[in-house]
Homo-oligomer: A and B are copies of this chain.
Amino acid sequence: MLQLQEGGYGLLKNCFFPESAAIIGASTDPLKFGGRALKFCLERGYKGRLYPVNARHDVVQGVPAYAHVADLPEAPDIAVIAVPAPLVRENLVAAGEKGCKVAIVYGAQFAEAGGQGQARQDDLLRIARDHGMRMVGPNCMGAISLASGFVASFTSAPEHHDGNGWPEAGAVSVASQSGAVGIQVFAQLRDRGLGLANWISTGNQADVDVADAIAYFAGDAATRTIAAYMEDASRGLKLCQALERARLSKKPVVILKVGTTPEGGAAAQGHTASMYVEDRVVDDLFAQYGVLRAGSVNELIDLVAACEAGVVPSSPDVAAVSVSGGGAVMISDAAARRGLDLVDYPQDALAALKERNAFVNDRNPIDISAPSMSNMEITGGHLKWGLERNLPTMIGYISHVPLVPRTRSGIMPQLLKFRDAHPGQLIAIAANLHPEDRSALVKTGVAVFDDPSVATESVAKLVRAGQAFEKPPNMPTAPGGFEDLSDALAAAGITLVTETVVDDAGAAVRMLDGPIVLKLSASTLRHKT
């Protein structure tokens, strides 16, 4: 299934919005590995039918339980297989025989553990395929939907902040190969005041991978922004098809693709058995589809913050306003480096502004200068003036103004009205803010950052996505037979030399009559090139 299968990724709906779910290995202890999914579903008010499967208890956490999957009164949409690795196989078979559409397998010690583990994983995959069932994992942390309240995960992140660790229900959907990194994204989105729709950890990706999740989120009504952490980009055609679906839906996709170096690639192989792909290939592919590429978890969060303002400009024109010349310089540098255009203003508009503030440095970025800390009428007024230029984007830098009580009370009411008054413009504010002010501002649809350089660079990446959104549809297809990255790249206009895998070198020589590059593949070799 190295192409996207419409019925296939469509089944992921059952990871987030199932009507019924079996939790196999559901524990009576809500803190245990097997007890958490049930606890979370109850806590989040999941409205579907829950079937705990537990051989020793008739009731689990207050919910009637069943000794075996076979005993369930219906075929549940999803089976959460929360049992230790040695018990996974029999339960996956049972879920398949019952007619589940999707199974989530938490257990580790599969492909990431090498040869024997790979064989065990191949076996699971065959079982899933034989029953027409999609499988998430193994070696994953499950799926979470704050849109439906269905939480099939053993994460302990909800315990953060004295048990108030859930993000608000929102519009960001996350797909991560790594559970721990995915949960760091979950926590940092929350702490930035960004709301979560759906979250999935794909682990070893025997079947369901990040591309499937992106394709699903592209059509999911709860999702506005898609964020992903990927170690493997080798299923290139599928990935391109998923990205094209997101692009056609005009949903920005932010991706932290790691394993960018051969050393990182080797570490990724040990983690999720991911294959190393030259990073410039990934870069080209992402650029093609307007992906906002992040270089770190922190940058991923910043880019999501830009996307979540809900406006994706395709024009590079920007109006910038800064309380300080320093901010103006940083915005100018980042804009020039990333291709944003700080447009020139008409002289008469600048002259009128100068009449209101003799200190103003009347260029773009506007530097409010001295009055910016003393008179919030002027500070807010200049930001408003920037908005009224009616450029697609306004970037404002207001440093620590919203942390000082007397300036905070003057500026916040003004900022909170900006987006309603200018619904079609992207408004990015760089400032040090109280968390509650930041959340309130984010809720109005303003993109909020600490740092003016980061704000500007994030806007620039979003504009690239906006430009990609304007290109005509171009769904890549497999040219027949080939189903790997090189095909996808060919479909996207990038040519690679032909690659194939053979068991002995003689076979390769017989296939070709030109020069040959051999790449050895064996679990006993650490460096393969």
A428 to B295, CA, bound (A): 19
**Which residues in window 335-376 of A have CB below 8 A to B?**
335-337, 342, 359, 361, 363, 365, 367, 369-370, 372-374
**Which of B109, B271, B363 meets A329, CB within 8 Å?**
B271
Q: Are A330 and B258 in contact (CB under 8 A)?
A: yes
20 A-B pairs besides A31-B406, A267-B367 with CB distance below 8 A are: A157-B400, A157-B404, A160-B403, A178-B324, A178-B325, A178-B326, A180-B327, A180-B399, A181-B330, A258-B329, A258-B333, A261-B337, A267-B325, A267-B329, A270-B325, A270-B328, A271-B326, A295-B453, A297-B452, A298-B450
Quote the shortest CB–CB distance from A185 to chain B (angstroms): 10
Whether the pair A270, B363 counts as a contact (CB closer than 8 A) is yes
Nearest CB on B from A437, distance (A): 12
Q: Tell me if A159 is interfacial: C-beta within 8 Å of chain B.
A: yes
Q: With a CB–CB cut-off of 8 A, which chain B residues contact A323?
A: 180
Among A267, A296, A327, A432: residue with most chain B CB under 10 A: A267
Q: In the bound complex, how far is the Cα of B338 from the Cα of A260, in angstroms?
A: 12
B361 touches A271 (CB 8 A): yes
Q: Which chain B residue shows the least CB distance to A178?
A: B326
Q: How large is the interface on A (under 10, 10 to 19, 20 to 34, 35 or more residues)?
A: 35 or more
Per the 8 Å Cβ criterion, residues 143-161 of A in contact with B are 156-157, 159-161
**Is A231 an interface position by the 8 A CB rule?**
yes
Evaluate whether A400 and B160 lie within 8 angstroms (CB atoms) in the complex, with A109-B359, A180-B324, A451-B297 already known: yes
Q: Is A54 an interface residue (CB 8 A)?
A: no
Interface-central residue, A108, A270, A452, by most chain B CB under 10 Å: A270
B297 x A450 contact (CB < 8 A): yes
- Chain A contact residues, CB within 8 Å of chain B: 31, 33, 108-109, 112, 156-157, 159-162, 165, 176-181, 183-184, 187-188, 191, 229, 231, 258-264, 266-268, 270-272, 295-298, 323-333, 335-337, 342, 359, 361, 363, 365, 367, 369-370, 372-374, 399-400, 403-407, 432, 450-454, 526
CB <8 Å contact, B450 and A400? no
Q: Tell me which residues across on chain B come within 8 A of A326, comparing CB atoms.
A: 176-178, 180-181, 229, 231, 258, 271
In the complex, A407 Cα to B155 Cα: how many Å?
Answer: 12
B184 touches A361 (CB 8 A): no
A156 to chain B, nearest CB (A): 4
Q: Do residues A156 and B298 form an inter-chain contact, with CB atoms below 8 A? A: no
Q: How far is the CA of A295 from the CA of B365 in the complex (A)?
A: 19
Known: A178-B326, A180-B324, A181-B327. Is A266-B399 also a contact (CB below 8 A)?
no
Closest to A263 in B: B336
CA distance A478 to B165 in the complex (A): 60
Q: Are the C-beta atoms of A335 and B451 separated by less than 8 Å?
A: no
**B325:A268 contact, CB within 8 angstroms:** yes
Q: Are A263 and B333 in contact (CB under 8 A)?
A: yes
- CA of A392 to CA of B265 in the docked complex: distance in angstroms? 25
**What are some 25 contacts across the A-B interface (CB < 8 A)?**
A109-B359, A156-B404, A157-B404, A159-B403, A160-B403, A161-B403, A165-B403, A178-B329, A179-B324, A181-B326, A188-B432, A231-B326, A259-B329, A263-B335, A263-B336, A267-B325, A267-B332, A267-B365, A268-B325, A270-B328, A270-B363, A270-B367, A296-B453, A298-B298, A298-B453
Contact B156 A373 (CB under 8 A): yes
Give A272 to B264 CA distance when docked, in angstroms.
43
- Inside 8 A of A404's CB, which chain B residues have their CB? 156-157, 159-160
Q: Give A363's nearest chain B residue, CB to CB.
A: B270
Which chain B residues lie closer than 8 Å to A178 at the CB level? 324-327, 329
Q: Which residue on chain B has the smallest CB distance to residue A268?
A: B329
Residues from chain B with Cβ under 8 Å of A191 in the complex? 432
Chain B nearest CB: distance from A117 CB in Å? 11
Known A-B contacts A187-B432, A264-B336, A328-B267; A399 and B156 likewise in contact (beta carbons under 8 Å): no
